[in-house]
Amino acid sequence: MKKINLPLAITSLGFVLALTACSSRNEWEMQALPSEVAVGAALDDIPDNALVRDIILPEHAALAMPMSVRPCCAFGADQKVAMGLLPIPFYRHANTVQLDEIGAHAFDAGSYSFEKSSPDSGKSTENNGMIYTRKGGFIDLAHVRDTADNALALFYLIKPKLGQAQSIELPLEIGHRTFELEEFDISHLTASERWELAASMAARLAFTMAEAHEISQWHGYRSFSLWTEAVSAYSIEDLYSNMLGAKIALAVLTNNLAMTKQQYNYHMTAWLASTLEWLEPVSKDQTNALFRAIDGNWWDSNEALPNKFVLLQRHYALGNKQSPYIVSKDKVQGSEDWALLASLYEQPVKPHNLSLATEMFGVQFDDIAVQHVSVDEEFKASFAHVPEALWADGFTHLQFVEIAKYDQQQDYILLKQHLAERPYLTHKIVEPSQVEAAQQPTLTSESKLEIGAQLNE
């Protein structure tokens, strides 16, 4: 999920608003009640720990879904910024960080936070941005944190009613969104299995929220009405970062380390730092140098934010398996920063792929939990290149992959024209796989112009 950082004059206003709201930030703590089975097991001479774990989360333990989206970063470094057609002189958007700068995690932080990273530490703010890792490529920390928070909230909505039908309201984007969960049998599952199932479902569903956000951004959704987010749609680091957040949240939940907001923040802070360390992060200077090495190929520093084609390389492969984009040695060996980057390539590294479970204990998640998305009138024109049967009456996460393919085809048309007008760019455009001819929509010239204008607004 991505909301672009705005120039300082605008973010200052957001900072003030955040300060006024921080006192009402979502506070919570959970009380897990023992079942009769758990009490009986606990009082046995030799307690059966599997039965002692049979705890109950009351329905009132449910959290509200996070409403804040953390400001985060367009792909690149030291980008130019424009408001409308007017560039902001002398301003460059710096958005890279290194491991020792990332700060304490804060649930539903939005634009501002001030939390302890551990019980004996001082308070700090989240410092989100881009960090490059040798195993995981570019990581957007705001995406990691947002999806982790969504997974946590979904767990506490799902677990108290696990196996029951329920509807979960989600924040609006291009239209009304819900998760619809059907009734299913859990009587054969142990207490630990029920906990594990609810946590895995929450992680998977949180990731589909991130996928929906990529589609929404492409089709015109804006967190801030004056600032188009088309540059961020299908950005190459987004979904890998989102899945990383889902998996970290799953680990925290599996270890039952999120019974209060403060406990969750402590352990999310520790797990995030340890996960990034395992992925082998580089310094801020090296991240910036890697961005310079791929300038003109994966992104274009000549374009000003929020122009769509600041980003040249995109990632449309939605789904429960994600792979990182690693900057290869041949891309940087001839750069002016090779001396700074050479140490990163002394030893071979294997990119670390991620995946999320879609089935557990015989329960197919897509059969019993579906995200529904409707399309409001103001966004319908942006779907002109997509067959109406896919979206006109709303769509579910089961259609996300197909819609992304149509978006990819449209981007191919626009990017091909953009590159033809800018021969200095080294990006090699690859024609996407074609959707079957029978499904191809017929677009008028006026429709194509309308879509192009909206995407480049």
Closest to 80 (Cα-Cα) out of 100, 94, 67: 94
From residue 27, alpha-carbon distances to 1, 18, 63 in Å are 23, 16, 9
Give pairs for 33-36: CB < 8 Å, separation 24+.
33/57, 33/58, 35/191
pTM: 0.87
| SS3 of residue 66 by DSSP | coil
Kindly state the helix (H) or strand (E) to which residue 130 belongs, with its residue range: strand 130-133
Show Cβ contacts of residue 453 under 8 Å, excluding neighbours closer than 6 positions.
none
In order, the DSSP letters of 202-251 are HHHHHHHHHHHHHHHHHTT--SSTTS--GGGTTBTTHHHHHHHHHHHHHH
Q: What is the pLDDT of residue 11?
A: 41
- 336 φ/ψ angles, rounded to the nearest 5 degrees: -70, -15
- 395-396 sheet: strands from edge to edge: 166-170, 177-181, 369-373, 395-396
Structure confidence at residue 16 (pLDDT): 36
Contact at 8 Å (CB) between 328 and 251? no
Spatial strand order in the sheet of 304-305: 86-87, 80-83, 304-305
Of the candidates 151, 2, 150, the residue with the CA atom closest to the CA atom of residue 75: 2
Rounded distance, CA 450 to CA 457, Å?
10
pLDDT at position 348 is 92
- The contacts of residue 449 (CB under 8 Å, 6+ apart) are none
CA distance 410 to 392: 18
Task: Give the Cα separation of 365 and 209 in Å (integer).
Answer: 15
Q: What integer pLDDT is reported at residue 3 of this predicted model?
A: 47
pLDDT tens series, the chain, 457 aa: 444 444 433 443 343 333 333 433 467 888 888 999 999 999 999 999 989 989 888 887 778 899 877 776 789 887 677 655 454 544 445 689 999 999 999 998 876 666 656 676 677 788 899 999 999 999 999 999 999 999 999 999 999 999 999 999 999 999 999 999 999 999 999 999 999 999 999 999 999 999 999 999 999 998 876 778 899 999 999 999 999 999 999 999 999 999 999 999 999 999 999 999 999 999 999 999 999 999 999 999 999 988 999 999 999 999 999 999 999 999 999 899 999 999 999 999 899 999 999 999 999 999 999 999 999 999 999 999 999 999 999 999 999 999 999 999 999 999 999 999 999 999 999 898 754 433 344 444 444 444 444 444 4
Cβ–Cβ under 8 Å, residues 293 and 337 = yes
Instruction: Please tell me the distance from the alpha carbon of residue 270 to that of residue 387, in angstroms, as a whole number.
Output: 45
Greatest Cα-to-Cα distance within the chain, rounded to the nearest angstrom: 79
Closest CA to 253 of 239, 236, 271, 234: 271
